[in-house]
Amino acid sequence: MDQKELLVLKDVKKSYSSLSVLKGINLTFQQGEFISIVGKSGCGKSTLLRIIAGLEAAGGGRIMMNGSELQSLNEAARIMFQDGRLLPWKKILQNIGLGLSGDWREKALEALRSVGLEDRAHQYPSSLSGGQKQRVALARALVHEPQLLLLDEPLGALDALTRLEMQRLIEAIWQKNRLTTILVTHDVEEAVMLSDRVIVLKDGNVAVDQVIEMPRPRQRANPAFTKYSEEILAEIMGTRSARGTVLVALSH
């Protein structure tokens, strides 16, 4: 496959006063990849995503986007958070069109269509369920046609069924557009279900960069699915033995 480096992190560091959160992250993301970042709460996942988005400056190292060093906001990236951050006083179409000009209505409608909610264009966000709000938030990111989609636990607040639906939608959108996607999640199975690579952050470093080799659409019943999930979880929890066998299979 023709691969092109979209994003390269070189020795990226970040501290908050005496707390060293990222201690020198080196990662390369190819165009079109779906990557998940997992790790314990507080390990620096959101910090890393904010730095990639250019919302926050790194304390050291370099971030190369399309071969150029990122200096401020990453214009080619869009980020979506766990709380959709929709403006309650604006209608859904207007929420999606924020920051667009020209034929923004057509573009916003198209984005809304891609998440299956075009019939809700003229309603207010308060009329939507949690899952639908996240669809709108996703449409609001997609309408800018980003090269890089950053998702910070976007499904964290959803119930299990809605979560599965949203996972399928995110995978379908990624496959259709081949949009490089970085998903931060605390759900290892979600990461294994969706990703080409799963990265485990631990103690400020990349502890694991695991390629997931499974055909799509992926099935939970596939033994490889369980094996990947258990191994990655064991890495996060520190229950992997020196010989590499999983000592404890934790579920959640």
Ligand X SMILES: Nc1ncnc2c1ncn2[C@@H]1O[C@H](COP(=O)(O)OP(=O)(O)O)[C@@H](O)[C@H]1O
User: Which residues here bind ligand X, judged by CB under 6 A?
Assistant: 16, 19, 21, 39, 41-47
Q: Which does 47 bind (CB under 5 to 8 A by kind): ligand X, Mg ion, none?
A: ligand X
Q: How far is the CB of 164 from ligand X (least distance, A)?
A: 23
Rg (CA), the chain: 18
Tokens of 39: 């790790």
For residue 73, the SS3 value is: coil
Q: How far is the CB of 11 from ligand X (least distance, A)?
A: 18
Identify which of residues 91 and 202 has a Cβ nearer to ligand X in the complex: 202
Q: Site residues (CB under 5 A) for Mg ion? A: 45-46
Q: How far is the CB of 43 from ligand X (least distance, A)?
A: 4
Identify which of residues 50 and 227 has a Cβ nearer to ligand X in the complex: 50
Q: How far is the CB of 222 from Mg ion (least distance, A)?
A: 29
Tokens of 250: 């934790």
Identify which of residues 49 and 117 has a Cβ nearer to Mg ion in the complex: 49
Identify which of residues 46 and 195 has a Cβ nearer to ligand X in the complex: 46
Complete DSSP assignment for 177-207: HT-EEEEE-S-HHHHHHH-SEEEEEETTEEE
Q: How far is the CB of 225 from Mg ion (least distance, A)?
A: 25
Identify which of residues 44 and 97 has a Cβ nearer to ligand X in the complex: 44
Tokens of 207: 């502890």
Q: Which does 44 bind (CB under 5 to 8 A by kind): Mg ion, ligand X, none?
A: ligand X
Measured distance CA(136)–CA(96) in Å, rounded:
7
Tokens of 87: 């403006």
Q: Which does 72 bind (CB under 5 to 8 A by kind): ligand X, Mg ion, none?
A: none
Handedness of CA 82, 86, 92, 96 (dihedral sign): negative
Residues whose CB falls within 8 Å of the CB of residue 94, separated by 6 or more in sequence, listed in order: 87, 108
Q: How far is the CB of 39 from ligand X (least distance, A)?
A: 6
Q: For 244, which DSSP code?
A: S
Residue 244: how many CB atoms within 10 A of its CB?
8
Report the amino acid identity of residue 233: L
Which strands sit side by side in the sheet containing 34-38, from one edge to the other?
77-80, 148-152, 180-184, 34-38, 197-202, 205-211
Q: Which does 146 bind (CB under 5 to 8 A by kind): ligand X, Mg ion, none?
A: none
Report the amino acid identity of residue 98: L
Q: Which does 167 bind (CB under 5 to 8 A by kind): ligand X, Mg ion, none?
A: none
- Ranked by CB distance to Mg ion, the top (closest) residue is 46
Q: How far is the CB of 21 from ligand X (least distance, A)?
A: 4
Identify which of residues 50 and 107 has a Cβ nearer to ligand X in the complex: 50
Identify which of residues 59 and 131 has a Cβ nearer to ligand X in the complex: 59
Q: Answer for the pair 135, 117: CB distance below 8 angstroms, yes or no.
A: yes
Q: Which does 43 bind (CB under 5 to 8 A by kind): ligand X, Mg ion, none?
A: ligand X
